[in-house]
Every structure is written in structure tokens, then in C-alpha cells.
Amino acid sequence: MKILLSTLALSGHLISSAVAEDGKIPAYFVLDQTYGGGFDTAAWQAAIDAIKGHGRLVHTYNFAGDKQVVSQAQQDVAKANAQKPIYLVNEKVAKDSTELRQSLATFKEQLRNDTNSKGSQVVAEWPMCALVEQGSEGAVRAMQGGVILLIDHPQAAAHCYAMVQSYFLTPAAPDGKRAAPVSVDATTVAMQATLPPMKLARHILADKAASKPGDFVERPTNVFKPGEEIFVYAYFENVGRINVGTPMSSYEIGLDIEVRDPAGKVVRTFPDAHVFKAESPPPFPVSAKHFTNFATAGIALHDPGDYVVAYIFHDRSRPETPPVTAAFEVTVK
């Protein structure tokens, strides 16, 4: 079932979530506002009100160290004949999308290497936030605990609070796991819908030894020794995204290479020489920069002579659009 929550009107996001037939889907939250973030209470309540408007069971309590709150939540769960969990949730705020992604990357690295993080996991990721479920250590007895990692922006709060609540309103599978609702950023989708074909904004023969990551230096000459790598840097605009506007968004650029003689005759081809691909979730706020990418590639020619080396790039997210070519005249001697 797809629903549009009123709290998401400004952000233009959709939620896809399942609803149990008996309607008894619990969402009991005990908020610990002493964590250091501090919830946007109005946005959180607006999300609750919107969900209640769909006949769903949502209760929220402020913890603030009072164990009576937990006891009351437990009593209400029993009275409502609802399923668990009761969930302790607090918040950690990131200043922007970059900081949010760095926090998530750091946490995931800890999960791989830190035995104290056993039982913790990232259960949901969205463009403006993520929900981290912590292990039982440190949580109030008989409760699960977690942290909302959130970009510090009112629109992010309105979106993410609703997504977190929707997550806990989704029926759990027999193994206890829940499917995270998928958000679709309508702004990003609309931008790609009108995106022109991919184009080359810059391309150079790069000096590999003198270049640094993100800072490519142009080679002073186009003359190469036999067997020396002809290394190029290309920067693209208008690169489409697969699963655009979702946390699963990614890019994929295919590369063919042609070696031509000075008259343009193809003397050697390297079809499907490489595929450049990676995850690319939309940042917040979204800008045209989201649809940019760069690539580096190289081949070596052993026979002396004059050539044109053509690096042909394909936007595989939009195969109907034409490829772009970065061509370089080179001399091997």
C-alpha cells in the first residue's frame, strides 16, 4: 500500500508500507530528549497525527530518566492487546548530508571491528536521515533502543520522523525483522526527468604522477613512450541515476576505447573496457551537482606512430541517450 503523509507535503516524499489486517501494529516510542539532539516536537507530533488519521496505533512518551514512563508504556501495550516493541529512541544531529554519510560510514566500520557493537545495525537509511538500532546494552530493560541520525533542518525532521514511525508500523517478518519504508525524493526525480543527455564539462590528458585525488594535473605534452600509460581525466555533467531519488540510487557509466589513425580509421577497439559505478544517494538539499561525476582511464600503446585515442562514455542509467567522447591526439615514440 502506498500512502502520502500530510507531514511530507513540503518534502515531496512517498512512503511505501504494509499494514496488518487486524490493525494492531505497535509504535510505542519513549523519547530520551537528554541525548543531546532534542526532537522537533511539533514535527514529531504532526507525523503521529497523520498516521493516526489512517487508523494506526501510535503512542509516544517522554522518558527523561523516569522509569514510570516505561512502566506506563508497558501497561498500555498490554491494554491495547498490541504487539511489542516499546522503543527507546533518541537523536543525533548532523549539520549536512556529508556529515551524515560520514557518521554512518564510521558506525558501519565500528560494526565490523568492535565487539562492543554486537547486536547493533543500521536498519533504515534515507536521504536525510538513518535509523540505527543499538544492541541491548545501555537500553532500558525490556525495551529496544536506537538513534535517529538526522540532518539539522526542519524539512528533514518532518520527513524522517514520519519514516521512522512508519518503519515501526510495518509488520515484522517471522524472524522479527522489518522492511524499511522506501522514500522517493520527488525533487530529484523531477530534475532527472528534464535532465539533458550526459555531457563532458572537462577532459584532459592527466599527469598521473603529479595528480592527487580530486585534483588532476594536465600533462604538459601529448608525446608518450612505447608502453607508457595514456591516462585521462573526464568530468561529466547530466549523469543520470538508477533508482533515482531513493537511498538505493546509483550511477553507472560504461567505457569503450577506440584507437584511430590520423585519418580517423579505427585500428583497434576495446569494447566494454570498464564500467564506473557506485552508490549515489541524493544529498539534501538536492542540486544539479548531484548529477555530476568524473572518471579516469588509461591504455598503453607499444607501436610508435601518431594516433587519436577516443574514450567513449555511456550513461547506462539512460541508454537511450547518446554517448560522449573524449578524444586525444597522441604521439608514441
**What is the reported pLDDT for 2?**
24
Task: State mean pLDDT over 277-294.
Answer: 90
| Pairing of the two strands 305-315 and 129-134 | unpaired
Q: Flag whether pLDDT at 20 surpasses 50.
A: no
Rounded average pLDDT over 80-99: 82
Q: What is the mean pLDDT of the chain?
A: 84
Highest mean pLDDT among 9-23, 79-93, 138-152, 285-299 belongs to 285-299
Q: Residue 211: is its pLDDT beyond 80?
A: yes
Q: How far is CA 265 from CA 122, 189, 212, 270, 309, in A?
A: 53, 41, 35, 15, 11
Instruction: Report the pLDDT averaged over residues 173-194.
Output: 88
Return the pLDDT at 83. 73
Q: How confident is the model at residue 58 (pLDDT cuts 50, 70, 90)?
A: confident
Least confident piece of the model among 62-76, 78-92, 222-236:
78-92
Task: Give me the pLDDT at residue 1, please.
Answer: 22
167 by DSSP, 3-state: which? Answer: helix
pLDDT at position 6 over 80: no
Mean pLDDT of all residues in 227-232: 96
Q: For the ranges 215-219, 268-272, 280-284, 288-292, which has the lowest average pLDDT?
A: 280-284
Strand 184-185 relative to strand 13-16, pairing: antiparallel
pLDDT at 57 exceeding the cut of 60 = yes
Q: Can you give the pLDDT at residue 12?
A: 35
Distance CA 210, CA 206 (A): 8
Q: What is the pLDDT of residue 22?
A: 54
CA pair distance 292, 297, nearest whole angstrom: 17
Report the number of secondary-structure helices (H) and strands (E) in the chain: 5, 17
Show the beta-strand stretches assigned E in 63-209: 86-94, 121-126, 129-134, 144-151, 184-185, 199-205
Q: In terms of Cα–Cα distance, which of 164, 166, 178, 183 is closest to 39?
A: 164
Radius of gyration of the chain (CA): 26
Give the span between the Cα atoms of 248 and 250, in whole angstroms. Answer: 6
Q: In this predicted structure, what is the pLDDT of residue 33? A: 66
pLDDT band (50, 70, 90) for residue 120: confident
